[in-house]
A and B are shown apart, each in its own frame.
Chain A
């Protein structure tokens, strides 16, 4: 079945340290992939997307993600984390436009 998997449920990172969130997908063709962020009590906000082209994608808030077909991965990275990055992060994807699958989410805690 087509799906998106986020292996890490919870990550703790120190402020100023780098962050990498993992996402694996299982779609046959080049998938449509997204990363969203959800702050407490809020809806989801799009950080970045990959449809085709350059495999390194830049997003908002200093985030980037790299599409690696050979590893079926679309990991999210940020070089230096700020306390405001504490939130839940969701990877989403699909094989065609329309209905997408969301991962279970990764909760990020930022320590001083």
Chain B
């Protein structure tokens, strides 16, 4: 079956521009996660959606970062006024119940 799909796979942008990263979770998965992985670093939790509950935004590093999940399915992570330190791989994962996570291949963001 289809796995977690992320687009684009690579994104190059200029400092100060806004970017949108998309995640299509596995159908039927109620939980969705966003992580950031900087070069040589582990996974930094950003945000967690579970069903219709209010999302856990405790990992968002600044108010330039936001995420939505429409209709309990597709999610978009938006970074406004990008900075060079935002350069990283952004990983999305979905989970059927909030336990085992299935990861997408990630979006590599480069801010010039």
Q: Which residues of A contact B (CB under 8 A)?
A: 32, 34, 36, 41-46, 49, 51, 90, 97-105
Q: Which residues of B contact A49 (CB under 8 A)?
A: 99-100
Which of A36, A41, A43, A97 has the most CB atoms of chain B within a 10 A radius of its CB?
A43
Q: How far is the CA of A36 from the CA of B95 in the complex (A)?
A: 14
Q: How far is the CA of A36 from the CA of B101 in the complex (A)?
A: 10
Q: How far is the CA of A43 from the CA of B90 in the complex (A)?
A: 10
Q: Which residues of B contact A (CB under 8 A)?
A: 4, 31, 33, 35, 41-43, 45, 48, 50, 56, 91, 93, 97-106
Q: Which residues of B contact A45 (CB under 8 A)?
A: 103
Q: Which residues of B contact A36 (CB under 8 A)?
A: 103
**Number of CB contacts from chain A to chain B under 8 A:** 51
Q: Is A44 a contact of B103 with CB atoms below 8 Å? A: yes
Closest residue of B by beta carbon distance from A104: B42
Q: Which residues of A contact B33 (CB under 8 A)?
A: 99
29 A-B residue pairs with Cβ-Cβ distance under 8 Å, sorted by A, are A34-B100, A34-B101, A36-B103, A42-B106, A43-B4, A43-B93, A43-B103, A43-B104, A44-B43, A44-B91, A44-B101, A45-B103, A46-B102, A49-B99, A49-B100, A51-B99, A90-B42, A90-B43, A97-B97, A97-B98, A98-B56, A98-B98, A99-B33, A99-B48, A102-B35, A102-B42, A103-B42, A104-B41, A105-B42
